[in-house]
Amino acid sequence: MENVREPWKPTRAPEHGTEQFRSHVERFEASRWNVPGTDKGWAERIQDAGNTWGTVVREAPTAPRTRLFEALVDRDVRYLVIGVGGVNLHVKRTRAPLMTKDLDLFLPLDPQNLLRAWEACELAGWTLWSGGEPLDRPRDLLVATRVVRWRALTTAIVEGELPTDLTFVMGSFDFEDVWLRRMGKYEEHVYVDLARLSDILAAKTQADRPKDRSFLADNRALLDDLLRAEGPPDPNP
């Protein structure tokens, strides 16, 4: 006689509050399908009737620049990405990025904000330099106030990424004006405050260094297209 197997029945799950329940939760949280940065958009899309769905797994965001932007948001730092790095964020991802040697972050003349920016850099694993030397310790409000007063440049460095300059100067622009016209953008999945392209290019025109003239001349057609796409600033920012 053929051996007929009983239909499978699930075993009883533990009750809430028990040791086994807590252990399950911890193991589930630590499982590979719940690592930070996993795409969980499907959980929302599944609720659309008739929509096909599937799990999309993405690697955890560990790129140093992503960590830096995350830390800047986390520390509530006001900054704007400017320079060629900023232009690259305006350029669509399908294009190859324009060549640059660094990423410029424009900061307001606010020592507290600068202090938070330094903390964010350290939190993300970047080291801080100023004038070719490691930045002095302790990095307190007194040091930050002096750096702001002298409009000194601080550079954050990490292996495998271009240096990031924390600057207080963007041509003759005032931070608050550029801040009001800023644009938001998601770089990897992190929110980045970005200066308008027209402001970035105006600052480059004002600086009028040979490398700026060369950058503007070499990429004229692309920049014109991007400026047209950007349009006028929002009248009610």
Partner 1 sequence: MRPQYEILDALHRARVRHLLVGAAGANCWAFDGSQVFSLPSHEILVEPDPRALRETWSALQRLGYNLREGTERIADPHAPGCAESFACEGRSSTGYRMRDRMLVEIHTAFIGPTFEELWAARRTFLAGELALEVARLGHVLDELWTRNRHFDHLIVSTWSQGMHDMLEPNPEIAVILAEHRARVRAGLVGKDG
Residues that bind partner 1 (CB under 8 A): 8-17, 21-22, 24-29, 31, 33-34, 36-41, 43-47, 53, 55, 58, 61, 73, 76, 184, 186, 189-191
Closer of 70 and 165 to partner 1 (Cβ): 70
Closer of 81 and 147 to partner 1 (Cβ): 81
- Residue 206, CA distances (Å) to 106, 173, 213 in order: 16, 10, 10
For 60, half-sphere exposure in the C-beta direction (CA atoms, 13 angstrom radius) is 8
Q: How far apart are CA 118 and CA 128, in angstroms?
A: 7
CB of 209 to partner 1, least distance (A): 34
CB of 218 to partner 1, least distance (A): 30
Closer of 43 and 229 to partner 1 (Cβ): 43
Q: Among 18, 40, 114, which residue's Cα sits nearest to residue 72?
A: 114
DSSP E strands, the chain: 80-82, 103-106, 127-130, 133-134, 154-157, 164-167, 183-187, 190-194
CB of 130 to partner 1, least distance (A): 28
Closer of 91 and 153 to partner 1 (Cβ): 91
Q: How far apart are CA 164 and CA 127, in angstroms?
A: 10
Closer of 33 and 172 to partner 1 (Cβ): 33
Q: How far apart are CA 179 and CA 200, in angstroms?
A: 12
CB of 95 to partner 1, least distance (A): 17
CB of 163 to partner 1, least distance (A): 26
